[in-house]
Structure 1
Amino acid sequence: MRNLTRSALAGTLVLAATLAVVVPAQAAPPAGSPSEMNRLLAQTRAAVAEYRDLDAALAAGYIPISECVEEPGVGAMGVHYLNPALVAPGAPVDPRAPQMLTYGPSATGELELWSAEFFQPDVGQPTPMYGSQPFDGPMPGHGPGAPVHYDLHAWVGKHNPAGMFAEFNPAMHC
């Protein structure tokens, strides 16, 4: 009887192992699917949550590099803060490590987090991608000494009626 029990147990283990290989417990969502983009955006939101406090962003190495950028009739981008330590031309895009953050005035006048911005200088690489979303560019630098680059805004701090990845937010103003 003991051998039969061991044989039954061994057969059950082989069957379970076979099923584990044939039927994965949880398949990853397809690249570019809405659920995959939601997963990436959730990672970005979680990564920048502490930077709703501008002092925390400054302590983490983000430095202001622009005044509040606004285009009449189009909307605003905000004040850009860059973390130079996160700039790695041609590196894979990490949704948890945006190179820039944008801030703009709240109803009380304090700066509040508007978006995370991903930035890569152009070194001849293919267009960087955030999931299935291509970066904008390559485009010339926006100021003296700024490189030709690719960038992508992810409006994780404020809703953008023009779209999650639109450059300007028509609901925001400097």
Structure 2
Amino acid sequence: MVRTLALVLVGAATLAVGPAAAGSEPGRAAADKAVAYRATAPYQHHANGVRAGYKPDRYCVFDRAGGTGALGYPHFNHAHDNSTDPAKPTALFYEDDGRGGKRLVGVEWLVHDRDQNLTTDDDRPSMFGVPFKGPNRGNFPGQPVHYALHLWLWKKNPEGQFTTYNPAVTCLPGTTRP
């Protein structure tokens, strides 16, 4: 595990060097991804994510719109709402590791829509050269209209690194919200 993590971090850091990193947008995106890898690496240990203020949802979230895939178990740190800092995602996504624990698979940034109007998007943020999705309605009572960007850093998503749901992530029977 430690060797794999070290290789991932070295690989991510390597993305940020070279001619592309000299200020161009692809170089900036690669550098920001390397920051996200380094910042979230400690959260590979579930307890570290919880200690860092990420509150676990007890339910596994899947695509209710009929698509395939899931987010896994979201863990939110609302102190990072409105962050576009690659080191401060709003949410971590974990999946069951098959041994009774949780494995980190992805992260999410969430930014509130300034005017709370679903029909305007003049304040849409972007990170990694990718625009956030939205504006979206809140997912629970009290959550404002927002933009979201998912990044599957720790588990490959066959649909794309920034796609909302990951078909390679599944929810075990009995773990989803009734």
The normalised TM-score by structure 2 is 0.74
* TM-superposed deviation, 1:108: 2.4
Alignment gaps of 5+ in structure 2? 1-18, 116-121, 172-178
* TM-superposed deviation, 1:173: 0.2
Task: State which of 98, 108, 113 in structure 1 corresponds to 2:99.
Answer: 108
Task: Give RMSD over aligned pairs.
Answer: 1.8
Give CA deviations for 1:94-134 in whole Å, capped at 9, x if unaligned. Answer: 11111111111123242110101111111136111103100
Alignment gaps of 5+ in structure 1? 1-25
Which position in structure 2 is the counterpart of 1:54?
46
4+ runs deviating over 6 angstroms: none
Contact 2:114 2:123 in 1 (8 A): no
Superposition pairs for residues 118-133 of structure 1, below 5 Å? 118-124=109-115, 126-133=123-130
Amino acid paired to 2:104: L
Give yes or no for the alignment of 1:85 onto 2:52.
no
* SS of residue paired to 2:106: strand
Contact 1:117 1:153 in 2 (8 A): yes
Identity of aligned residues (%): 35
Contact 2:43 2:49 in 1 (8 A): yes
* SS of residue paired to 1:171: coil
* SS of residue paired to 1:51: helix
Amino acid paired to 2:158: P
Question: 1:70, 1:60 → 2: CA distance?
Answer: 25
Question: 1:107, 1:64 → 2: CA distance?
Answer: 18
* TM-superposed deviation, 1:38: 2.2
Which position in structure 1 is the counterpart of 2:30?
38
* TM-superposed deviation, 1:67: 1.6
Give yes or no for the alignment of 1:74 onto 2:68.
yes
* TM-superposed deviation, 1:84: 1.8
Which position in structure 2 is the counterpart of 1:154?
151
Amino acid paired to 2:164: E
